Every structure is written in C-alpha cells, then in structure tokens.
Structure 1
C-alpha cells in the first residue's frame, strides 16, 4: 500500500523573498518616477521609469494570480531574469544621465533612488 505525501503548502507570493524583492523594486521605481515628475525632468527619464513600474507591476500581478503555474509554455524564471537585466541597464543609464547635470534636487533624488 502506497502512502500519499501531502502537498507542500506554497507560501503566498507577497510573503516570499521573491515577492518582497519585487515589491521593493516597484516602490523604488515608483519613487524615482515621482521625483522625476516633480522635477519636470526630460521625458525619457519619466518614460523609462514608467516602463519599469509597469513591467514590475505586471510580473507582481502575474505571480499573485498564479498565472505562471497556469501558463506552462513559457519559462517564467528566464523571462523574469531578462526583465531584471533590461530594467537594470535602463535604470543605470537613467541614473547616470540624471546625475550628470544635477539640475534640480528632485532629479538628483530620482537618480539616487536607483
């Protein structure tokens, strides 16, 4: 007679380390975008940080709704890594560009947020 092992309980996404990191990333991107908007920074700064906020929010929503387990045709960890690398490159470029002229205090704060 074979005994059935109970399924391990999966923690909710928001309580996991991955969830905390994603939420922190979303908060930093939103803060940076807010500083850029307040400083009336050049539009590419705002657009790139808005893209980062949107894509991070999309992945958080995807993981909260467990769509990564429902849609198995995609390799979600690879997509997550690609998203993180692209976002890091964009944010490094925006941060460096925002800190070079040092026009206003909000632009500098937006650049330091990343």
Structure 2
C-alpha cells in the first residue's frame, strides 16, 4: 500500500521539455505576451489588457501541464490537439487585436504593444504549425515519421 501512496505523491518534472523546440517556443510566447500585457497596461487601454492576460494564463497553464507531465495523467483530452486549437484561435484573435491597437493607438505603449502582439501571433502560428505536423491521427508513429523523411 505504501508503494501506491509514493507513486501518487510524487510529481514528475520534464526539464527536457523546456530545452526542446516546443518548450522554447512556449516560453517565448509567454514572454512576448507578458511584454504585450505590460505595454497595454502602461498605455492604459483595458480593452486589450484582458485578452492578453487571458492568453498568457492559458499558455502558462499548457506549459505547466507539459512541464509537470500532467498530460500523461489527464488523458480525457488529446492535449496536443487542444494546444493546436488554442494556438490557431489565439493567433487569429491576437492578429485582429494587434491590428486594432495599431490603427487606433493613443499612447506609445499601445503602439509597442500592438507590434509585439503581432509578433506573438506569428509565434503562435509557428507553434501551431509545428505541433500539427507532429500529431499522428491513428497511424503508428514510425509510419508517419517514414512519410515525413521521404
């Protein structure tokens, strides 16, 4: 019984994820969205602050999910596909948000926030593309990798 308690009590940490390409992209997205949040807060435009804060929170939760290997324990969702959908919708939404901020800026902070927001939308596009390429839909992993290499 003590073995089961020890397995439940321990939490695995995947430090290799932070060093991988996906981990670096996720951390870069978080940093860019935090910069956007600070720029919009300095420019005092609350309509842009909420969207960037929400996306920062979602990306940090997904990063925490992968970092603590909770995606292996919580199997009721297909987490890579959830991550792809989040990245695609966030990229579209942040592109629209950045265009709105760039066309109607009143302070320099909003202008800089719009530019960095547009760059973070580009990062989200890269993230969704790389994730979508790695997802296998009912194919064995080695079969999919052989098709990519050919």
- Which interval holds the TM-score relative to the shorter structure? 0.7 to 0.9
Q: Which residue, 67, 70, 73 being the options, matches 1:70?
A: 73
1:24 to partner: Cα distance:
0.4
Structure 1: segments with no counterpart, 5+ residues? 1-9
Please give the secondary structure, in 2, of the residue aligned with 1:103.
coil
Off by >4 Å, runs of 4+ in structure 1: none
1:85 to partner: Cα distance:
1.1
Determine if the alignment matches structure 1 residue 103 to structure 2 residue 106: yes
1:96 to partner: Cα distance:
0.5
Please give the secondary structure, in 2, of the residue aligned with 1:12.
helix
Q: TM-score, normalised by structure 1?
A: 0.86
Structure 2: segments with no counterpart, 5+ residues? 1-13, 118-150
Please give the secondary structure, in 1, of the residue aligned with 2:18.
helix
Q: TM-score, normalised by structure 2?
A: 0.66
More helix by share: 2
Q: Which residue, 9, 19, 30 being the options, matches 1:15?
A: 19
RMSD: 1.3
